[in-house]
Amino acid sequence: MTAYLIKGVSVLGGDPTDLLIRDGVVAETGPGLTAPDATVVDATGLVALPGLVDLHTHLREPGREDAETVESGSRAAALGGYTAVCAMANTSPVADTAGVVEQVWRLGREAGLVDVQPIGAVTVGLAGERLAELGAMADSAARVRIFSDDGHCVADPKLMRRALEYVKAFDGIIAQHAEEPRLTEGAQMHEGEVSTRLGLTGWPAVAEEAIIARDVLLTEHVGGRLHVCHVSTAGSVEVLRQAKARGVRVTAEVTPHHLLLTDAKAESYDPVYKVNPPLRTATDIAALRAALVEGVIDIIATDHAPHAVEDKECEWAYARPGMLGLETALSIALDVLGPEWDLIAERMSRTPARIAGLDGHGLDPAPGVPANLTLVDPAARRVIEPAELASRSRNTPYARMTLPGRIVATFLRGEPTVLDGKALK
Ligand SMILES: NC(=O)N[C@@H](CC(=O)O)C(=O)O
Ligand SMILES: [Zn+2]
Ligand SMILES: [Zn+2]
């Protein structure tokens, strides 16, 4: 195994120092290190962060390998500074058995670019009718601990209660896509002034808030663990604030796009802006940003949702919801939060690693710690070119935008997956 000597790097914004990486771990830190056998990486001006961890990624394999594969999504993740991603279960076939989650887990190991931790479905086929084999997925080689019907809401309160109860046996988490289905029938975008003007059917904020409120109460009742996916409204933040004040075991994520883009984007009728939950208002964005800083929202998760051209470049009403996220998330976080490196590490690495129970991830570089880390050039600015993304899909909402920050290198257990901004596999 090659040793790497990273010279002149700022760990989380601190004074320049050196990091020696050997045998998969950070062997030594401090200024002026030497190691004749090591490959030197000049990291002058770069910031080292613990490798990013995404709790919410769609990799599309098995079933839609034209949109993304475990390998292409892993490469996009590594280029985005990630060392671990949790793969959502809405594949085809659905990841609702030990066999499918083990397949995804194995494909992740073979790609070897990030740790791929499969999420299991809550219900068979995401149909919301009966519980999937949660125990078998937990006992499988993939050791599933997070279960989600993401893409669909577990709308039946009795099923949701049983799922929360069942996974307590192994300290599992139910990650909910909070969308009351009856309140969002035919919905195309956020229900508000813009939807009224455009004449598009609205997806009201209360459809999200009502499910979060219900699930928080169910979680409190059974003493389980709930994670709320892609929180998008100011009202949801208030529900979460109250729940946390009462000590309910609930965590929540916000996506980069919900921190930056508003429903006004729908005025273009460009389906690249169609997403679930929909882009909301500037008031919601302000509340989400404040909640993220405060910790009412625990993490940033990408909800990276690749879609093939024919599913996205069509009329708004027929387009699938979802947008790419892995290769731009850190830039959006820098744009929204500024160079608050400790906060970024907390919300994009340490806390998601802790929630998902990913040992060896989310740890600041220090002697003896597994070398899962990423090097960022905070001074760089880059223009997003969809054709240059590693994802198999092109549905980024940031096309031709200039964004701050560039991932220069990513290390997974001491081996570079990205160097000089290029993926090594
Ligand atoms: N976010 C989306 O708009 N789409 C996701 C599903 C989901 O996260 O709900 C997808 O799988 O495409
Ligand atoms: Zn969802
Ligand atoms: Zn999703």
Q: Taking 90 as the threshold, does the pLDDT of residue 342 lie above it?
A: yes
Same domain, residue pair 329 and 242: yes
Total structural domains in the chain? 2
> How many residues are present in the chain?
425
In a domain, 218, yes or no: yes
Q: Taking 90 as the threshold, does the pLDDT of residue 1 lie above it?
A: no
| 247-277 pLDDT tens trace | 999 999 999 999 999 999 999 999 999 999 9
The ipTM value here is: 0.99
* C-alpha to C-alpha distance for 351 and 354, rounded to whole angstroms: 5
> Mean pLDDT over residues 22-35, rounded?
98
* C-alpha to C-alpha distance for 146 and 166, rounded to whole angstroms: 12
* Options 284, 303, 311, 377, the catalytic residue: 303
Query: Which residue minimizes the CA distance to atom 8 of ligand 1?
Result: 151
> Mean pLDDT over residues 340-354, rounded?
99
Clarify whether 42 is annotated catalytic.
Answer: no
| 49-85 pLDDT tens trace | 999 999 999 999 999 999 999 999 999 999 999 999 9
Q: Of all atoms in ligand 1, which is nearest to the CA of residue 306?
A: 12
Q: Of all atoms in ligand 1, which is nearest to the CA of residue 90?
A: 11
What's the predicted TM-score (pTM) here? 0.99
| 175-194 pLDDT tens trace | 999 999 999 999 999 999 99
**Neighbouring C-beta atoms of residue 25, cutoff 10 Å:** 18
Q: Is 269 left (phi over 0), alpha (psi -120 to 50) or beta?
A: left
What average pLDDT does the structure give for the chain?
98
* C-alpha to C-alpha distance for 264 and 350, rounded to whole angstroms: 33
Residue 57, helix vs strand vs coil: strand
> What is the span of the domain harbouring residue 92?
51-356
How close is the Cα of 225 to the center of ligand 1, in Å?
A: 22
In a domain, 10, yes or no: yes
Same domain, residue pair 8 and 57: no
In a domain, 362, yes or no: no
Instruction: Please report, in range form, the residues annotated as the binding site for Zn(2+).
Output: 56, 58, 150, 177, 230, 303
Same domain, residue pair 20 and 141: no
Spatial contact of 305 and 322, defined as CB atoms under 8 Å apart: yes
Same domain, residue pair 241 and 317: yes
Same domain, residue pair 38 and 103: no
* C-alpha to C-alpha distance for 302 and 322, rounded to whole angstroms: 11
**Neighbouring C-beta atoms of residue 406, cutoff 10 Å:** 19
Same domain, residue pair 98 and 33: no
Same domain, residue pair 59 and 172: yes
In a domain, 361, yes or no: no
Q: How many helices (H) and strands (E) does the chain have?
A: 13, 19
> Mean pLDDT over residues 403-421, rounded?
98
In whole angstroms, how far apart are CA 9 and each of 2, 42, 327, 337, 352? Answer: 19, 8, 22, 21, 24
For residue 10, the domain's CATH number is 2.30.40.10
Same domain, residue pair 227 and 153: yes
> Mean pLDDT over residues 21-38, rounded?
98
Same domain, residue pair 123 and 9: no
What DSSP string describes 20-53?
EEETTEEEEEETT---TTSEEEE-TT-EEEEPEE
Q: Of all atoms in ligand 1, which is nearest to the CA of residue 177?
A: 9
- Identify residue 67 by its one-letter amino acid code: A
Q: Taking 90 as the threshold, does the pLDDT of residue 291 lie above it?
A: yes
* C-alpha to C-alpha distance for 366 and 389, rounded to whole angstroms: 32
Same domain, residue pair 404 and 311: no
Strands (E), 128-249: 146-147, 173-176, 189-190, 202-203, 226-228
Same domain, residue pair 173 and 189: yes
List, chain by chain if needed, residues with CB within 6 Å of any ligand 1 atom. 58, 90, 150-151, 177, 275-276, 303, 305, 320-322
In a domain, 144, yes or no: yes
